[in-house]
Amino acid sequence: MCGAIKKHPHHHFTSLMNVVARPFCRRPGSITTVQASGSRALAPKAKAPQAKPSPEQHFIKSRSMHIQSIPMWTGTGNNYAYLVSDDKTKEATIIDPANPPEVLPVLKEQTDGGKIKLISIINTHHHRDHAGGNAELLKHYKVPVVGGKNCDKVSETPADGSTFKIGEGIKVKALHTPCHTQDSICYFFEDGDQRAVFTGDTLFIGGCGRFFEGKPEEMHKALNVTLASLPDDTRVYPGHEYTKGNVKFALSVSQDEETKRLEALAMNNTQTQGKSTIGDEKRYNVFMRVNDPAMQKVTGETDPVKVMGKLRSMKDHS
């Protein structure tokens, strides 16, 4: 790992810097292609609802980064784990693999077949529906667990702004975003001009996480300073599929064209992860519009931190 990493001495796993890489074989089957043009992510076609969504793959065209979404607890928690791999070296990481019965079959199919080499587990925060699968996965893969200090079995905690690599092409930057939990970390992945951010329960498509361990000023900083500073074409991969619920709240406070775009995204997609960008979120996510006069009017506040707090309170009681 590059940058400042706090290693936890009670774990003795191989460092991410010392993993041997091998060539990559593409997984057969359906692949969702993310265009390299950097165009806006919202041009969805209507899809029939699926009782059990299958893993969805996003192949960054002409680059080496593959992102595979693994739905977990569909219909209840509606969580996502993400398997991110480097085409050239086969190196891969699994993000928030909280439910091993749903994650391990996907991992085993690829690792046992020599398609990928798992080099790490990454957690966005310590809640069990994100980090609760670490112990079971470590029975199968002796790899470091990268995450906040309170994550189960964590072995390496990246400092805010520190970077590390997955394979040859994927650079990862850790962004500390305390509020939902104090150990919340978002991870910005960059491969050439292709970008993705894995936001856990900090940023959802059209929403944000509850302030369980933090205050409005912390979520304001997380969303409107830290994440808002990422390139607008950065695709957003949250920890849950909460978009339809977020649309319902958004429509209660705004009926403008941008909110209708968010509504269309939710209506036309069973899974919305990777289909919205940071630029999109700044336009239609009410929690990233705290300086918008419309949000100030509906909350009766003008200070952005107070707007954030009032919006969250309204959402919690909606």
What residues are labeled active site? Answer: 125, 127, 129-130, 180, 201, 240
Q: CA nearest 239: which of 190, 204, 274?
A: 204
**Burial tier of 285 (Cβ tally within 10 Å: 0-12, 13-18, 19+):** buried
Tokens 């069973």 -> residue: 270
**Which tokens sit at 148?**
């906040």
**Centroid of chain to Cα 146:** 15
- C-alpha distances in Å from residue 93, one per residue of 144, 165, 167, 238, 259: 10, 10, 10, 16, 34
Strand blocks (E) in 8-72: 32-34, 56-60, 65-72
